[in-house]
């Protein structure tokens, strides 16, 4: 198999002219867009199953053992249907689900293309981490989206009951699915936090000692960021996302420390290998 990067005018140290960078960036973006489109087509076909999955947290608001009167009190329809008030809303909802679903399915491809674009500026031993970067990033995004899906029923319960019993719950598809998608996207992006910190350390932009000194500010910043990116704003969701993000922050510090320790060891070994070997004086044994 031929190397797709073989024809590029890249020097030994990985540098490229500006125009070559722009051409490569365009190629990477096109591949990302094609991956999103392919994923969107798949999600368009599987829309009924995806919609049932996304509506399930809304259905969980009413326990299965609840009587019909209690179900009717908590929900306008006595079940978990969504109220359509606009004739164009079903079509726009299907487009929204397909678009965000395609973007989600394309996450591994997007991460791979990002890594391939920045790879020339890294050390040779760091370029071998491309597969790990892609796999870990995709798994973290899926883990974050899954955690959001688990927390959505609790967030909905908080938001549905905080207004009092005189309010009847009845969501429109666009607003409900917008809420669910934003929650899952916020958690998925939040779980990419350690990947970003490790990448910044590998690029030499920050050092793990800087992260250690910024711990107290990081706690406040993480909580503030979570409060902004999560649409619910309830204390439970705030805690569920803030705690993992801070643990990821500490993990990034540990990875940076291990990486710096390995670099010091490699540098020491290279220094010892380059050191001149002392030559014994052959005349020392002469009379």
For 170-179, the pLDDT digits (tens) are: 788 888 998 8
- The pLDDT tens digits of the residues spanning 153-205 come to 888 888 877 877 777 777 888 889 988 988 998 899 889 888 888 878 877 78
Q: What does each C-alpha distance from 277 to 10, 270, 274, 280, 281 come to in angstroms?
A: 37, 14, 9, 10, 13
Say yes or no to pLDDT of 284 above 50.
no
DSSP state of 120: G
DSSP class of residue 171 equals: -
| Tokens linked to 97 | 């689900």
Confidence tier at 111 by pLDDT (50, 70, 90): confident
Q: Is the pTM of this model over 0.85?
A: no
CA–CA dist 98, 93 (Å, integer): 9
Inform me whether the pLDDT recorded for 257 exceeds 70. Answer: yes
- Taking the CA atoms of 254, 256, 259 and 260 in sequence, report the sign of the dihedral they define: negative
Beta strands in the chain (DSSP E): none
- pLDDT at position 136 is 86
- Yes or no: say if 107 and 137 are a contact pair by the CB < 8 Å rule: yes
Instruction: State the average pLDDT over residues 246-259.
Output: 89
Contact 21, 28 (CB under 8 A): no
Angle at 130 between CA 128 and CA 13, to 5 degrees: 60
Exposure string of 176-201, with b = 16+ CB inside 10 Å and e = fewer, is: bbebbbbbbbbbbebbbbbbebbbbb
Count CB neighbours of 52 within 10 A. Answer: 10
Q: Does residue 65 surpass a pLDDT of 50?
A: no
Question: What is the overall mean pLDDT for the chain?
Answer: 79
Task: State percent of the chain over pLDDT 90.
Answer: 23
Nearest to 219, CA basis, from 196, 192, 199, 238 = 238
Is 75 in a helix, a strand, or coil? Answer: strand
pLDDT of 78 strictly over 90: no
pLDDT at 98: 93
Contact 94, 44 (CB under 8 A): yes
- Higher confidence at residue 227 or residue 45? 45
pLDDT greater at residue 275 or residue 42: 42
| CA torsion through residues 84, 80, 94, 232, sign | positive
What was the pLDDT predicted at 102?
93
- Residue 116 pLDDT more than 90? no
Is the pLDDT confidence value at 77 over 60?
no
Please write the tens of the pLDDT for every residue from 209-225.
888 988 889 989 999 98
Position 144 scores a pLDDT of: 92
Chain centroid to CA 209: how far? Answer: 24
Three-state SS for 169? strand
Q: Exposed, middle or buried: residue 123 (CB in 10 Å: 0-12, 13-18, 19+)?
A: exposed
- List pLDDT tens digits, range 126-156: 666 767 778 888 899 999 999 999 988 888 8
Burial of 205 (0-12, 13-18, 19+ CB in 10 A): exposed
């Amino acid at each position: 198999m031929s190397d797709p990067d073989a024809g590029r005018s890249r020097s030994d140290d990985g540098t490229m002219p500006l125009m070559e960078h722009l051409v490569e960036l365009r190629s990477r973006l096109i591949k990302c867009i094609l991956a999103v489109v392919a994923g969107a087509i798949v999600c368009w076909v599987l829309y009924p199953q995806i919609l049932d999955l996304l509506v399930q947290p809304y259905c969980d608001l009413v326990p299965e053992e609840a009587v019909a009167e209690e179900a009717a009190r908590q929900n306008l329809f006595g079940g978990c249907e969504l109220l359509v008030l606009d004739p164009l809303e079903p079509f726009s909802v299907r487009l929204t689900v397909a678009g965000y679903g395609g973007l989600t399915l394309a996450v591994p491809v997007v991460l791979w293309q990002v890594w391939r674009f920045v790879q020339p500026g890294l050390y040779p031993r760091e370029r071998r981490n491309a597969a790990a970067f892609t796999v870990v990033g995709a798994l973290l995004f899926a883990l974050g989206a899954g955690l959001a899906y688990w927390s959505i029923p609790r967030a909905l319960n908080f938001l549905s009951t905080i207004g009092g019993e005189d309010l009847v719950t009845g969501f429109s598809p666009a607003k409900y699915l917008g809420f669910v998608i934003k929650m899952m996207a916020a958690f998925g992006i939040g779980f990419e936090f350690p990947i970003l910190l490790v990448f910044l350390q590998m690029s030499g932009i920050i050092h793990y000692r800087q992260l250690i000194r910024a711990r107290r500010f990081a706690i406040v910043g993480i909580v503030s960021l979570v409060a902004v990116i999560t649409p619910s704003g309830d204390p439970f969701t705030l805690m569920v996302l803030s705690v993992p993000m801070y643990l990821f922050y500490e993990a990034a510090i540990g990875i940076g420390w291990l990486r710096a320790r390995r670099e010091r060891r490699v540098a020491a070994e290279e220094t010892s290998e380059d050191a001149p070997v002392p030559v014994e004086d052959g005349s020392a044994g002469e009379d």
